[in-house]
């Protein structure tokens, strides 16, 4: 699959932070768990100390001076075990400004250097030129479905809704990912019976389903339920 590039502001040095969308999603999940995390380098960047590893997608560095050692270890473990991000704590002793470096294992946009680091991880190595032992937790890499799927639940009883936007596109699936799931456009005042509700994990937006179509709930009003 092709992954779009997304820009998430600038890093601590004023360079643009750019990720492929899958890595952006994983970084968002990691930052949801560890809100103190600050990105100091994104992907598609060619910084000095990285030996081309960040040239492609799937790579990210986080600041560590604002974290305790315990927090750093927790981030590295969670990134590996839950998100499939091969993370390492890079230290002064290894010749770095200390930071957490992570590579999205299996991401199709990785530069060769990043692919080599994933292979090094699987071989129990640290992914540096020194080819030292992996100094992080030897856990099984987690797998995160991408694009993320929403989990619909039934509205019991069904509810009546009215479209409040001038025009509202319906979708065939309640997730924003992919962007090709437009089924039809409804005009303001269109009324329908909603039978399911789902939150798109990527955008955080709520969708309501009627028949085989999903409508963005931000452009709907709930009508008073009819009796019965």
Q: Rule CB under 5 A: which residues touch Zn ion?
A: 61, 101
75, 137 contact by CB (below 8 A):
no
Nearest approach in angstroms of CB 138 to Zn ion is 21
Nearer to Zn ion, 130 or 225 (CB): 130
Nearer to Zn ion, 88 or 192 (CB): 88
36, 47 contact by CB (below 8 A):
no
226, 158 contact by CB (below 8 A):
no
Nearest approach in angstroms of CB 81 to Zn ion is 20
Nearer to Zn ion, 63 or 101 (CB): 101
Q: 158 by DSSP, 3-state: which?
A: strand
Nearest approach in angstroms of CB 134 to Zn ion is 16
In SS3 terms, the chain reads as CCCCEEEEEECCCCCEEEEEHHHHHHHHHHHHHCCCCCEEECECCCCHHHCCCCCCCCEEEEECCCCCHHHHHHHHHHHHHHHCEEEEEECHHHCCCCEEEEEECCCCCCCHHHHHHHHHHHCCECCCCCCCECCCCCCCCCCCCCCCCCCCEEEEEEEEEEECCCEEEEECCCCCCCCCCEEEEEECCCEEEEEEEEECCCCCCEEEEECCEEEEHHHEEECCCCCC
Nearer to Zn ion, 80 or 101 (CB): 101
Nearer to Zn ion, 59 or 175 (CB): 59
Nearest approach in angstroms of CB 185 to Zn ion is 44
Nearest approach in angstroms of CB 27 to Zn ion is 13
Nearest approach in angstroms of CB 143 to Zn ion is 22
Nearer to Zn ion, 21 or 61 (CB): 61
């Amino acid at each position: 699959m092709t992954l779009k590039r997304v820009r998430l502001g600038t890093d601590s040095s004023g360079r643009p932070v750019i990720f492929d969308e899958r890595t952006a999603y994983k970084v968002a999940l990691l930052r949801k768990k560890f809100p103190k995390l600050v990105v100091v380098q994104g992907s598609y960047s060619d910084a000095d100390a990285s030996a081309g590893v960040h040239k492609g997608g799937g790579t990210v560095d986080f600041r560590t001076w604002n974290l305790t050692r315990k927090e750093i270890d927790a981030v590295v473990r969670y990134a590996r075990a839950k998100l499939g991000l091969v993370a390492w704590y890079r230290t002064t002793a290894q010749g770095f400004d200390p930071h957490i470096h992570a590579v999205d294992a299996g991401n199709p946009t990785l530069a060769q250097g990043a692919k080599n680091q994933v292979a090094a991880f699987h071989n129990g190595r640290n992914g540096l030129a020194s080819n030292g032992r992996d100094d992080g937790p030897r856990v099984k890499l987690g797998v995160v479905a991408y694009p993320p799927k929403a989990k619909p639940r039934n509205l019991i009883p069904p509810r009546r809704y009215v479209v409040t936007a001038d025009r509202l596109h319906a979708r065939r699936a309640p997730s924003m990912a992919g962007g090709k799931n437009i089924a039809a456009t409804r005009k303001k005042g269109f009324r329908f019976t909603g039978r399911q509700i789902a939150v798109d994990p990527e955008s955080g937006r709520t969708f309501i389903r009627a028949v085989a179509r999903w409508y963005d709930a931000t452009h709907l009003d709930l009508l008073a339920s009819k009796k019965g």
